[in-house]
Amino acid sequence: MKKMVNGILMDMSEEDIAQYNEDQKTLPTEFDVNMEYLREIRNSLLAKTDWTASSDLTMSDNMKTYRQALRDVPSGLDTVEKVKTKLTKNDDGVLINFPEEVSNWAI
């Protein structure tokens, strides 16, 4: 294997190769990266509705169902293909395989 040092291509030492191989083990996989993105979206959608869970409000059944469905989004996603399917958007940029947002925020 080769490495670039100060603009010069050099052979890697056995120690360099061992470190490179070890570093490769800790890199996130495509699955990990996609799941992290999915969770960020899900968490953002949950955060938009956190105010409905305030102790001085009574959350509607629709909102309870929606929030639970959001929490369940990652369930059963065990391949990159399943995660990418869950992240599919329509032409308007709407996630078509996520729970539909509650249109009536009444609590």
Half-sphere exposure of 58 (CA within 13 A, CB side): 1
Closest CA to 103 of 63, 72, 68: 63
Task: Provide the whole-model pTM.
Answer: 0.74
* 93 contacts: CB under 8 Å, gap ≥ 6: none
Q: pLDDT class for 72, splitting at 50, 70, 90?
A: very high
Arithmetic mean of pLDDT, 50-79: 93
Evaluate if residue 106 carries a pLDDT over 70.
no
